[in-house]
Structure 1
Amino acid sequence: MDTSKLTCPRCNSLKIVKNGKIHNGKQNFKCKQCNRQFVANSKKKYIANETKAQIDKLLLERVSLAGIARVVGVSPRWLQQYVNHKYAQVPQQVQVQAKKKGNLTIQMDELWSFVGKKRVKVWVWLAIDVNTKEIVGVYIGSRDEVGAQGLWQSLPPVYRQCAVCYTDFWRAYAQVVPSMRHQPVDKGSGLTNKIERFNCTLRQRASRLVRKSLSFSKKLANHVGAIWLFVHHYNSSLLV
């Protein structure tokens, strides 16, 4: 394209030069007067709400962001920005049905994951209501007393007050859960099978939690957001 026919969209200068190409291969131009960069005859693409709704559904399945971008026909850069914003808005507090005191039983377990590199371990602590199958506690962090305390504090008050808690023999649980209501059991007892089954579901549905995956999280905030997004979706599906 002849630069003599172009004017800067900011200052209307005619001193325009070519300045490489943008991510989609279109010619990029630069104004020598104010340094504004632009593409000639740019047509901004708006993503339809129907496409965004489809993306929201795919984020809950075992599909990488690159795969979603290919399926729905959006740029990886736009999709990453959309996902960053969406995960930042996800509430990080369990949303469950109100419960009466008494006759509450929960199972707790921790799930290994990593962010960026496998040596950067991030543990997902979870608690499930045995009767309703709701996820009633979530904490994402280290596998120590701090992590167990985070899970305990994430429980609604009624569970902290009177629920019987089944866990494995990981020592951090005993440091946090009241001894009168703590029931450590062996994996073979079947008394933690519901939370272990949910762990399996989470690994199968969230590609970033698959042990051998190219879809792992590069950013902790997105890792946390993706897990909370699935937990809210899972709990809401129990009400249907």
Structure 2
Amino acid sequence: MNKLPLHTRKTILKCLLDGMSIRGTARIAEVSKNTVSKLLVEAGEACAAFHNEMVREVEAERVQCDEIWSFCYAKAKNVADAKAAPEDAGDVWTWTAIDADSKLCISYLIGGRDSSYARLFISDLAARLASRVQITTDGHKPYLEAIEEAFGADVDYAQLVKLFQEPKGKPQERRYSPGECCKTRKDVIEGEPDMAKVSTSFVERQNLTMRMNMRRFTRLTNAFSKKVENHALAGALHFMNYNFCRQHKSLNKWTPAMAAGLTDRIWDVEDIIKLVDERAPKPNRPKAYRKKENSN
């Protein structure tokens, strides 16, 4: 079985983690697009499995949750006219839960934005926490039922509701401008949350990090995902790098995983490659070798 040299695989993953496209990465690493996509899938699967196993019993006090929009193959409004669009084409949302102190991404989920995905996301978050926490979300209604179902009364939960107005200026000048936040409201939903610490600032900053470091999340470009599976695996690779490899100035150059007590060192891209190699099937030995071994 042919295997790419270590330095080539490191180059590919570093390019992808720095927000380069599949084609751009292929040009830099001097490999084919299929080679880049194959390594992305392998690394994403390894990172997803590692996150699922290792990010458990997290000692968090304050958790912030949010969702970020993207799309697969075509935007929802264009799917009907898209040629050979797959069943999962359209809007794709990434749910994230951030520990406000360690900046660790505790849980993430990629899919729709309805109540069924909210329940899956919050249920996974609850399973990864070690103690009672204070949760802050935006005013998205599916959170209400999902958090009640997963935590019951064993949570301090508040919503930060933002009210928006149309941006100022001529319509053609504000076509791509988001609405301006004119007012916020803090609503106590469950328990006794500390209202001074009700915020979604850290998780919203994580949304920007995702758009900067994953090319397929960039707005107003043609760098979108064509398969929702690859979209999810790119997310898994990103969160692995964010939690275990990326140093944060606000954490004295520790990684979120170090600040959360999940590891005692800064990981590197080589460590991700080791995870990939550990999951790879063992090569079959030649028949002649097996016969010789049996005869001995």
Normalising by structure 2, we get a TM-score of 0.60
The percent of aligned pairs where both chains have the same amino acid is 28
Q: Is the 8 A contact 1:123 1:140 kept in 2?
A: yes
- 2:160 matches 1:185: yes
Deviation of the 1:160 alpha carbon: 7.9
| CA distance 1:49–1:196, change in 2 (3 Å) | same
Match of 1:149 in 2: 119
Q: Is the 8 A contact 1:96 1:235 kept in 2?
A: no
In the TM superposition, structure 1's runs of 4+ consecutive aligned residues that sit over 6 Å from their partners are: none
Name the count of aligned residue pairs: 195
Q: Is the 8 A contact 2:57 2:129 kept in 1?
A: no
Deviation of the 1:84 alpha carbon: 3.1
SS in 1 for 2:222: coil
Bigger Rg over Cα:
1
**CA deviation digits over 1:151-186, x for unaligned, max 9?**
112215363851111011110111111375220113
| CA distance 1:52–1:176, change in 2 (3 Å) | same
Match of 1:49 in 2: 6
Q: Is the 8 A contact 2:134 2:157 kept in 1?
A: yes
Deviation of the 1:150 alpha carbon: 1.6
Match of 1:96 in 2: 55
| Residue type of the alignment partner of 2:202 | K
**CA deviation digits over 1:163-219, x for unaligned, max 9?**
111011110111111375220113457711000000011111101001222221111
Q: How does 1:190-209 map to 2 (within 5 A)?
A: 191-209=199-217
User: Within 1, Cα distance between the matches of 2:74 and 2:130?
Assistant: 35
| CA distance 1:193–1:172, change in 2 (3 Å) | same
**CA deviation digits over 1:85-114, x for unaligned, max 9?**
3333332545437444xx711000011011
| CA distance 1:160–1:125, change in 2 (3 Å) | farther
User: Within 2, Cα distance between the matches of 1:46 and 1:175?
Assistant: 48
Q: Is the 8 A contact 2:93 2:111 kept in 1?
A: yes
Q: Is the 8 A contact 1:104 1:159 kept in 2?
A: no
Q: RMSD of the TM alignment (CA)?
A: 2.4
| CA distance 1:158–1:118, change in 2 (3 Å) | closer
- 2:225 matches 1:217: yes
Q: Is the 8 A contact 1:107 1:195 kept in 2?
A: yes
User: Within 1, Cα distance between the matches of 2:6 and 2:92?
Assistant: 34
User: Within 1, Cα distance between the matches of 2:147 and 2:120?
Assistant: 11
User: Within 1, Cα distance between the matches of 2:212 and 2:12?
Assistant: 18
Q: How does 1:46-125 map to 2 (within 5 A)?
A: 47-92=4-49, 93-94=51-52, 95-96=54-55, 98-100=57-59, 104-119=61-76, 120-125=90-95
Q: Is the 8 A contact 1:207 1:213 kept in 2?
A: no
| CA distance 1:46–1:226, change in 2 (3 Å) | closer
Unaligned runs of 5+ in 2: 77-89, 163-183, 186-197, 247-254, 259-265, 267-296
Match of 1:7 in 2: none
